[in-house]
Chains A and B, each alone.
Chain A
Amino acid sequence: MGEKILIAGNDAIAEAGIRAGCRSYFGYPITPQNELLEYMSAHMPKAGGAFVQAESEIGAIYMCYGASAAGGRTMTSSSSPGISLKLEGISYLAGCDLPCVIVNVARGGPGLGNIAPAQGDYFQATKGGGHGDYRMVVLAPATIPEATELTMLAFDLADKYWTPVLVLVDGVLGQMMEPVEFCEPVDPTTLPLKPWALTGAQGRPRNIVTSFFLDPHELSEINLKRQDRYRRIEAQEVRYEEFETGDATIVIAAYGTVARIAKTTVKLARNEGIKLGLLRPITLWPFPYAPFRALSNRVKTILTVEMSAGQMVEDVRLAVAERAETPFYGELGGIVPTPRGILREVRKYVSYDAENGQSF
């Protein structure tokens, strides 16, 4: 760990990428992620890496596809509409089992929407988005220090499982500044070589990177192997945070920016005697179904709060089934819920026992 510096989320994620040993970045300007691209344009060449401002998000994701196939750690970033454009390439990356880190600094949608923070891309991120049977690890940091750690983790997971990994933040985390102590940089020359990389067929048979298999049995076999890998990820890589859930009777389910805002709500609620907790998924895929299931056996309410019309709430309900009530509170269009706004919503599900002075 080095010195603490005050840094914006977009800059911090870019720096974390370089520190993770990423030596190629390809992107296209779109608000609110422009500073990430600009940071890379200034710092990637200094690190001896490649930076290209591509002709489009599509061009950028396929430059990543080529760079990854050539064996290097590679990265691109965009915001919601740009991620929609990248989905074809993400499907190809998954179909070729190529590692790649993609950052989505999400904004209001659908369509052009606006440039304000939003979480309307949860389905796109976790349920496929692109075509075919693929999954993508999705990491959702709630603070800038965590965004740097998870960006570095994203490269490790991408290489470990040969899969694209998405770091999902929003305009708040992209634009805000917070003190960060960065981890020590990784020397890319010390990373394990990838046996499938296109390095020239010298002293070995040729390597072919493709997702094209006309024989149904062959394609089925390759898919099944990939599904095995997904099951391993689900077993080993679930990450989440529980905050004040020990004695909680009501728990907020939230990720990213909303989760950190809800932490303030937890403090405010506890000042009023409401036993409120927070369960924050850090990996959106694989989703922490088991912790939600466990919690649902002992709490009355799990209130999902999102900057969306209700997307993650579907996974929460899948985990909880009918064991607890699962209401939803969402803000749309780039409106960010506030600590007291969430508290007002929480109060709706709390009954107050005036005789004993207790909320439950």
Chain B
Amino acid sequence: MEKSVILAGFGGQGVILAGKVLAQAGMDHGLEVTWFPSYGPEMRGGTANCTVVLSDEPVASPLADDPTALIAMNLPSLDKFESTVASGGTIVLNSSLIERPVMRADVKVVSIPMNEMAAKVGSALAINMVALGAYIKATEVTPLATVKTAMAQMLEKDGKGKFIPTNEQALEEGYNAA
């Protein structure tokens, strides 16, 4: 079974890091994974996205025509990728910034106010973990505990260990809301 997700948002919303955490968690969970970012000038302030593929066999294409899920952190991301999501797939969207509904009837929609939820745990920067938590609940690709561990390891490695508790809370917040 192969699952693919596009994580998309403004530069600074942390979609690149959220994708890495998911890929790391998938690997720790025993899955084959790939992570592919949009890169270049757009990563500084413009739109950003990355694709994560998780599979129980070696991943061929790291890019997906029709991802099984989309995490849309802002309206341009929903506009750009909504039509590509596979039928029966999942769209996790940030209702804080996206006012229109999803037009597709053949996908599962998880709509949560990520900005407010992140603010609630005390850090606007944790919005990406709110999104990831919701995605994990909706798709069950890996256990939440594995994601928490992967996140903690990555932040530790980058010398940002002090942000681990906030990000754990954000993951839980998203997970419980979905």
Contact = CB atoms under 8 A, between A and B. Distances in A.
Interface of A: 4, 6, 31-32, 115-116, 143, 171-172, 175-179, 260-264, 267, 336, 338-341
Interface string B32-45: 11111101110000
B61 A338 contact: yes
16 contacts: A6-B27, A31-B40, A115-B41, A175-B36, A176-B37, A176-B62, A177-B33, A177-B36, A178-B33, A178-B59, A260-B61, A260-B62, A261-B61, A267-B60, A338-B64, A341-B65
Interface in B38-70: 39-41, 58-66
Specify which of B24, B39, B58 lies most central, judged by the most chain A CB atoms within 10 Å of its CB. Answer: B39
B52 to A, nearest CB: 9
Interface string B1-41: 00000000000000000001001100100001111110111
Contact of B35 (A116, A177, A260): A177
Contacts, number: 66
Contact of B20 (A6, A115, A336): A6
Contacts of A115: 39-41
A32 B32 CA distance: 25
A267 B59 CA distance: 12
Contact of A4 (B27, B41, B64): B27
Contacts of A264: 60-61
B99 to A, nearest CB: 30
A62 to B, nearest CB: 29
Contact of A177 (B34, B40, B61, B63): B34
Interface residues of B, number: 22
Contacts of A32: 39-40
Contacts of A172: 36, 62-63
Given A6-B23, A6-B27, A176-B36, A336 B63 contact: yes
A32 B39 CA distance: 8
Specify which of A143, A176, A262, A263 lies most central, judged by the most chain B CB atoms within 10 Å of its CB. Answer: A176
A175 B65 contact: no
Given A115-B39, A171-B39, A261-B60, A179 B27 contact: yes
A345 to B, nearest CB: 13
Nearest to A115: B40
- 7 residue pairs, one from A and one from B, having the closest CB atoms: A263-B60, A264-B61, A177-B35, A176-B36, A264-B60, A261-B61, A340-B65
A175 B60 contact: no
B40 to A, nearest CB: 5
A108 B65 CA distance: 21
A5 to B, nearest CB: 9
Contacts of A175: 36-37, 39
A32 B37 CA distance: 12
Given A6-B27, A176-B34, A339-B65, 16 more contacts: A6-B20, A32-B40, A115-B39, A115-B41, A171-B39, A172-B36, A175-B37, A176-B37, A177-B20, A177-B36, A179-B27, A179-B32, A260-B61, A264-B61, A339-B61, A340-B65
Contacts of B24: 6
B83 to A, nearest CB: 13
B40 A178 contact: no
A304 B78 CA distance: 34
A263 B35 contact: no
A338 B23 CA distance: 21
Specify which of B58, B59, B60 lies most central, judged by the most chain A CB atoms within 10 Å of its CB. Answer: B60
